[in-house]
Amino acid sequence: MRRTLRAAMVTGAVLVALVGAFYVFRTPLLLKAIELVGAPPLAAQEAVVLGEEEIWADDFYTVERLDAQTYAISEPRYFRDVYSYLIVGDREALLIDSGSPLRDISTIVAQLTEKPVSVIATHLHFDHVGNHTRFEKVLMPDLADLRARTRDSKFVPETLEHLGKVEGYAVPGWDVGGWWSVDRELDLGGRVLTLLATPGHTPDSISIWDRSRHRLFMGDYAGDGEIYAFLPNSSLGAYLETTERLLSDLPPETFLFAAHGGADSKAAPGVGVQNLVDLRDGLRAMRDGRLAGSGFWPRAYPLNGNTHVLADWAGPGGSSWDFD
């Protein structure tokens, strides 16, 4: 009897230790698991169904002309289906995100404009800075943390900000060609863009606002499908604060372009402002313990019929509400 009790206590202690270890190391464990599984192979070009406005630019990239001076460049054969956006002004052009490191997006950009091109990333994940070093001028958002970590004009993301290890990509570094202040305008020549700080997915995430055309290019901040709020540095508190601010600042007719298509996306992906309303309401309900999640980790919290927030355990007072 005593032996059975002792065995049960030992088993219990081991279980508690295992659960504790999982909790502490959940993020590196998940990243390692993703790394071990590996990325699926590229889809066959013939198997990709394009949208009406999308055309192949080569055997990897597609281009969709959103208007005479705006292009969406996508990677539909890659399972992450990354979208980068090229904004062309009368004098110069801006590439928002430089895509995954799989191929060289600069050759496609060169086919679309002869103007000098600057590049800026919505955030530092590997599938958005993959071609930064191929462009002459890399702009960075003027955020104190990023400035403080720049040495002799060179910036190198941290491993957990870049996350390229999960697909075998080394962390790149680049020379910073200019700092773009938050809420400041950049004039490309008849085309004025504003940089907005939109932390949540990562602390230094930004969005580029084309106010006159009612468009916001928001990277991985929101969109249909899954919103990643569980990654290293993600913060539900920052997400909620950003969403409330955007809802008060953006005109209701604004269209928000995302940086990943869904599996069946056949056009540049995006959502309307209603998606932000759903996100704000969902985040408030998560914070107050009124919205149930499903799954073990990350937990999926439904916002509407087709969008979930993937988050850490998100109950009231949970650590993932902290930021700053």
Nearest residue (CB) to Zn ion, 125 versus 132: 125
Minimum distance from CB of 275 to Zn ion (Å)? Answer: 17
Long-range contacts of 47-51 (CB under 8 A, 24+ apart): 48/76, 48/77, 49/266, 50/76, 50/266, 51/265, 51/266, 51/267
Give the whole-angstrom CA distance, residue 3 versus residue 117: 73
Residue 280 contacts Zn ion per CB under 5 A: no
Binders in 10-39 for Zn ion, by CB under 5 A? none
Residues 6+ apart with CB under 8 A from 261: 74, 76, 81, 83, 267, 268, 269
Site size for Zn ion (CB under 5 A): 2
Minimum distance from CB of 258 to Zn ion (Å)? Answer: 11
Minimum distance from CB of 219 to Zn ion (Å)? Answer: 7
From 39-47, 89-97, 124-132, 289-297, span contacting Zn ion (CB under 5 A) = 124-132
Minimum distance from CB of 141 to Zn ion (Å)? Answer: 15
Residue 92 contacts Zn ion per CB under 5 A: no
Nearest residue (CB) to Zn ion, 62 versus 100: 100
From 109-117, 120-128, 171-179, 284-292, span contacting Zn ion (CB under 5 A) = 120-128
Residue 220 contacts Zn ion per CB under 5 A: yes
Which residue carries 């939109």 as its tokens?
Answer: 198
Element (H, E) at 147: helix 144-148
Minimum distance from CB of 43 to Zn ion (Å)? Answer: 21
Binders in 131-170 for Zn ion, by CB under 5 A? none
Beta-strand runs (E) in 235-294:
255-257, 270-272
Beta-strand runs (E) in the chain:
54-56, 62-67, 70-74, 83-88, 93-96, 117-120, 137-141, 154-155, 174-180, 185-187, 192-197, 206-210, 215-217, 225-228, 255-257, 270-272, 299-302, 307-311
From 25-33, 43-51, 136-144, 212-220, span contacting Zn ion (CB under 5 A) = 212-220
One of 103, 125, 132, 299 touching Zn ion (CB under 5 A): 125
Cα distances (angstroms) measured from residue 146 to each of 154, 158, 211: 11, 11, 26
Nearest residue (CB) to Zn ion, 236 versus 291: 236
Minimum distance from CB of 114 to Zn ion (Å)? Answer: 31
Give the whole-angstrom CA distance, residue 75 versus residue 82: 5
Minimum distance from CB of 201 to Zn ion (Å)? Answer: 6
Nearest residue (CB) to Zn ion, 88 versus 218: 218
Contact residues for Zn ion (CB under 5 A)? Answer: 125, 220
